[in-house]
Structure 1
Amino acid sequence: MNLSQEIPLSVAPVSRAKIIAFYVIFYGCLAGIFIGTIQALLLTLSNYKPTWQDRVAPPGLSHTPRSDKAEVAFNVNDLESFLPYTKALKDFMAKYDEQWQTDKMKFEDCGEEAQEYKNRGDLESDVGIRKACRFSRSWLGPCSGLDDPYFGFKEGKPCFIVKLNRIVNFRPKPPTSNESIPDEAQPKVQPNVIPIFCTNRREEDAGKVGEVKYLGIGGGFPMQYYPYYGKLLHPHYLQPLVAIQFANLTMNTELRIECKVYGDNIDYSEKDRFQGRFDLKLTITNL
C-alpha cells in the first residue's frame, strides 16, 4: 500500500471543512461590521432634514414655461407655436386650484398680504404634520389662467410663473439695505417680501423689454410661506408664486432678459445660472 497517496485523501475533508468554517466566520464578521456601521450611521441621521444641509446652496429660481436652452420663441399669429408653453403653464397651475385646498386639516389661510414667518414649531418636535398655507391662483391676475387660457401669449404679453426652489428649514431674509439692489428695483423692497426684478441682460436690449408686471402677494415671495418642513412634515406644502408678465416687449427681435431675487441670504453663482436668478432668451414675432 502506498501511504503517500492515502494520507491526502483522508485529510482533505477535514481541510475543506476548516476552510469553509474560516470563510463563514470571516464573512460573518464582515457582515456584522457592515450592519453595525450602517446602524450607527442611521442613528446620526434625521428623518426630517439632510445632515449636511449647511452645504446646500441658496435656493434656485425656476420658471414655467421653460426649455432646455432657456429659449422661448413664438409667433402671436400661430397658435401651434405657443401651445406647448401655455399647456405647461396650465399643467403647472392645476395643483393650485382651490378645489385641492379646501381640507382644513391640511391647509390654512395665511393672508393675502405679506407677513412674517409663520411659526409652525421646530423642525424636530412632536408637533407632527404641519398645515400648508393656501395659495390662490386668482392672486396672479391675468396670469392665473382662469380668464385667459393662453396666459397672455396670444396677445404678445406672455406670462411666466416663477418660484423659489424648496430647501428644508430655509428662511429667506428680505434685503435690509439697498446697496446690492439696482436703483430701478429699489421701489420693490418692502417688509416681509423677497423681491424679484427682471431687466435686459445686454446693453443693446435697453429699452426693448418694456413694462414688466409682477403679480402675486407683494409682487414677490412672502415670508409666511416659510420655512418648508420637508415632504414628511409638510406633504401638502405649496410654494408661493410670482407671475411675471412682459406687457410691452419689442417684437421680431431676440431679447436677453435676466430675473433675480434679492435677499440678505440669497447669493448668485457663475457656475449655476439658476441660483437666485435665471436668464431667458425671448423672441416674439408677429409677421
Structure 2
Amino acid sequence: MEGKKVEQFYTPPPKLGKWEGFRVFLWNSETGQFLGRTGASWAKILLFYVIFYAVLAGFFGAMLTVFYQTLDPNAPKWQLDKSLIGSNPGLGFRPMPPASNVESTLIWYKASDEGNFLHWTRELDKFLEEYQKPATSTNDAQKRMMCDYGKPPAPGKVCDVDMSMWGQCTKKNKYGYNKSAPCIFLKLNKIFGWKPEYYNDTKNLPGSMPDDLKDHIKQEEHANRLDTVWVSCSGENPADVENMGAIQYIPRRGFPGYYFPFINTPGYLSPLVAVFFEKPKYGVLINIECKAWAHNIIHDRFERRGSVHFELMVD
C-alpha cells in the first residue's frame, strides 16, 4: 500500500541478569566494547590524558626551574632581621635527654651505675664525632685550619676546634659522668652572616653581667682576646647557686671571634664551651641558666633568647 507510513516501535534490550550484565559490560562481543568503550575510544581518552599530564608536568617543572634561579644554594634568601630566626642567637646544650622525653631539659643520672649514665656519654660521643675526625678523613675536614686571635681563617678555609685541650671533658674520661662531675657542652646557634659586637670597652660592661665574668674579661684584655662571645653559667636561685658548686669553662670562657660569621663554608664547626661541674650537690635538682654575652645578644629568659636553661641532678 503506497503512501502508507510504516510505524516502527522501539524494542527494549533484553533483560539480563546481574552477572550476565556485568559480563557484557566487561566485554561486549557484538559491539567490541571493553568496559563500555571501544578500542578507538580508549585510545583517544588515554592520548588526551597523556598529553594533559605531560603539559601539566612540563609547566610545573618550568615554574620550579624559574623559582630555583632566584635561590642561592649556599646562602638563605632572607637573612638576619629579615629571616624567621632573626639576628639574636640562642644557646644550645649537649647532651640532650632521650627522644622519648624530648621536651625535658633535665640531665639526671646515677654516677655509680654505668648503665644509668651511658645514655649521656653516648649522646656526647655522637655529638662530638664530627669534631674528632682527622683532617685527612674528609674533603670538608681538609678545609679546616688552626686559627687564633689575629689569625682568622684563610679564604675558603674554616677554623678547626682543637679537641686536645678539653681536660676532664673527653671521651677517655667519660666526660666526668662516672665521677659525679659532669661536663655540659654549650654551642651558639648558627645564624648566617651574623657578626658579634664584642665588649671591647672593659670600662663599660653591662651591670647585669656577673662580676666574675667582668674580672675575667679585664684579664683577657691584656692578652688581646676581647673579640669573644663570652659565656656565663649560674644557678637560677640562691639555693641553686649554692648546690651547683664550682665550675670551669673549658677550653676558654667563650666563643672566639674568628669563628664568625658563619657563611655556610663546607667543613664549618660551631665553637664549643664545655662547662665542667666540679662537685654538684648529690640528690638535688639544680636549675642552671647559661648566657652568651655580646652587645647584639639580647637576653630574654621567658623566650630563651641569648641563653639556655637546663636542670642537673646527680644521684
Corresponding residue for 1:96? 131
Of residues 68, 72, 75, the one that matches 1:46 is 72
Pick from 224, 227, 231: which aligns with 2:261? 227
Q: Which has the larger radius of gyration?
A: 2
Q: Give the whole-Å Cα distance in 2 for the aligned partners of 1:263 and 1:209.
A: 25
CA RMSD of superposed structures (Å): 3.5
Q: Assess, with a 3 A threshold, how the Cα gap between structure 1 residues 110 and 235 changes in structure 2: closer, same or farther.
A: same
Q: Is the 8 A contact 2:240 2:286 kept in 1?
A: yes
Unmatched segments (≥5 aa) in structure 2: 1-47, 221-225
The equivalent of 1:156 in structure 2 is 180
Higher alpha-carbon deviation: 66-75 or 185-194: 185-194
- Aligned-partner Cα distance in 2 for 1:223–1:116: 11
Say whether the 8 Å CA contact 1:118–1:226 is kept in structure 2.
no
From 209, 217, 221, the equivalent of 1:182 is: 209
Indicate the residue corresponding to 2:171 in structure 1: 145
Verify: 1:261 aligned to 2:285, yes or no. Answer: no
- The aligned counterpart of 1:172 is 196
AA matched with 1:162: L
User: Number of residue pairs matched?
Assistant: 258
Retained in 2: the 8 A contact 1:159–1:243? Answer: yes
| Cα displacement string for residues 66-92 of structure 1 (whole angstroms, at most 9, x for unaligned residues) | 212010111222222211111111222
Within-5 A mapping of 1:1-287: 37-54=63-80, 55=83, 56-57=85-86, 58-67=88-97, 68=102, 69-97=104-132, 99-102=133-136, 105-111=142-148, 114-115=149-150, 118=153, 120=155, 130-146=156-172, 148=173, 150-176=174-200, 177-179=204-206, 181-184=208-211, 185-189=213-217, 190=220, 191-216=226-251, 218-230=252-264, 234-269=265-300, 272-273=303-304, 275-285=305-315
Tell me what 1:123 maps to: none
Moved more, 81-90 or 38-47: 38-47
TM-score (norm 1): 0.74
Q: Distance in 1 between matches of 2:193 and 2:70?
A: 18
User: Whose relative contact order is higher, 1 or 2, with alpha carbons under 8 Å and at least 6 apart?
Assistant: 1
Letter of the aligned partner of 2:107 in structure 1? V
Structure 1 residues 250-283: Cα deviation after superposition (integer angstroms, max 9, x where no partner): 222111110111112222445643x321111111
The verdict on how the C-alpha distance between 1:102 and 1:38 changes in structure 2, with shifts beyond 3 A counting, is closer
Match of 1:15 in 2: none
The Cα shift of 1:187 comes to: 2.5
Give CA deviations for 1:212-260 in whole Å, capped at 9, x if unaligned. 11012x3210011122221xxx221111111101112122211111011
CA 1:181–1:144 in structure 2 vs 1: closer, same or farther (change >3 Å)? farther
**Alignment-derived partner of residue 40 in structure 2:** none
Give the Cα–Cα distance (whole angstroms) in 1 for the partners of residues 303 and 151 of structure 2.
29
Q: Give 5+ residue unaligned stretches, structure 1.
A: 1-21, 121-129
Q: Sequence identity, in percent? A: 28
Q: Distance in 1 between matches of 2:300 and 2:262?
A: 23
How far apart in 2 are the matches of 1:100 and 1:238? 13
Superimposed CA distance per residue, residues 169-198 of structure 1 (whole angstroms, 9 cap, x where no aligned partner): 222222354225423332243511111111
Moved more, 32-41 or 70-79: 32-41
Report the CA distance shift for 1:258/1:271 in structure 2 as closer, same or farther (over 3 A): closer
Task: Write the letter of the residue equivalent to 1:153.
Answer: Y
TM-score by length of 2: 0.68
Change (3 A) 1:66 1:30: closer
CA pair 162-279 structure 1, distance change in 2 beyond 3 A:
same
The one-letter code sitting in structure 2 at the alignment partner of 1:165 is N
Cα distance in 2, alignment partners of residues 187 and 47 from structure 1: 44
Separation (CA, whole Å) in 2 of partners of 1:93 and 1:47: 26
